[in-house]
Structure 1
């Protein structure tokens, strides 16, 4: 038993090592190019300088404030998108009148990039949190809506008929049959939506905010502090990665059977 356990641990470590190999290789090449003077370190500072800069920004607390501000905007906007996306997806999938009314509008709005709404969002809501909430909600809505719609459409009608024959109420049918059956699709939409949300909030902060990681990057760009810009980008990448892994964890908890059957 212990032998099998250690084999699994070793295999997992090897797998993680392969995942990190590409990142380590890129950092090593980057450091080498900076050391030999092939690139201008004022424009592209070395990984060591970026790491030291990030450390000082964390110790000072300035980047942590911007990080928490961006996270709050993502959470609020994403929760709005989750509510609207799931509710709208459910009604358009189960009600023909709702589908006929909402589908044309959604199909017209879907191809428009969220960043195209930045000027209008600033005009409508001013500078601050509200434009970021709007852009995050708008960008995250479509993957959540689409996956919810197709997830509910994919529910086996035999399961619905069986539940009705057993005397299930409308509430039981929705929350005990339809939503659980569509959950693998919905969680994929949530995972995609959180990535879009993070992209949207940074884009909004670059031009329409006075705080947040996007604003921090823009401010340091204007003062030509490229090491701070890249440190902010690294922080954005790390948080985005952690949020993606968090959604994978939630997906495994909500729909554990989907991982076993895939």
Structure 2
């Protein structure tokens, strides 16, 4: 398991039931790719302000890989907070792995398109242009998490290209899609903007047109078997406060002030 202790801080603001700062020695957080960049920045700030040590393990919101967040919780790996796609969080709440009532939306994510640096830039300005780009590409990649599931199960059918595109496409587990594109293993890749932004060697073409978009909320909750539930709530309060907005925007997300489509 990849553990990366981070030192973090700032003063939490009312969000998760107005939880005040809590002096907690340490917290363990599982976070999925879409919120990784924002969390690394915010965790460091929170630790500086509170003295709380934060360890983080990264994993997908869903899927069959051993490091997927649901699989980690099923093994009862030590954890206090989880941050993942809202649909995945809702399933964890329903099965009792996350405390009901602690859920809070943190950032809203949109799907973007990327190609290898130096490659031809496809037109994706309209649904027809996206359809043409998919048909023209020799290979396509998307993730096995929220954005990729939407593309494979909904978007291709909506564009009428499922039969032509699925045979030349790869659903990528665990690895960022941008890395697959940067290596030249896929000509065009689709993933949340916040997950593509940190990858070197790619060109982000832009966001999918609004009529083809799925806006996903990345959301947090307190793990049911957390040993530090008060500290976990305080961290979520900070992450959902206005003081977190700048880091969330810089990562390619929008701060969540309302529920997004799940």
The TM-score with structure 1 as length reference comes to 0.29
* Larger relative contact order (Cα-Cα within 8 Å, sequence gap ≥ 6): 2
The structure with the largest alpha-carbon Rg is 1
Q: TM-score, normalised by structure 2?
A: 0.29
**Bigger helix share:** 1
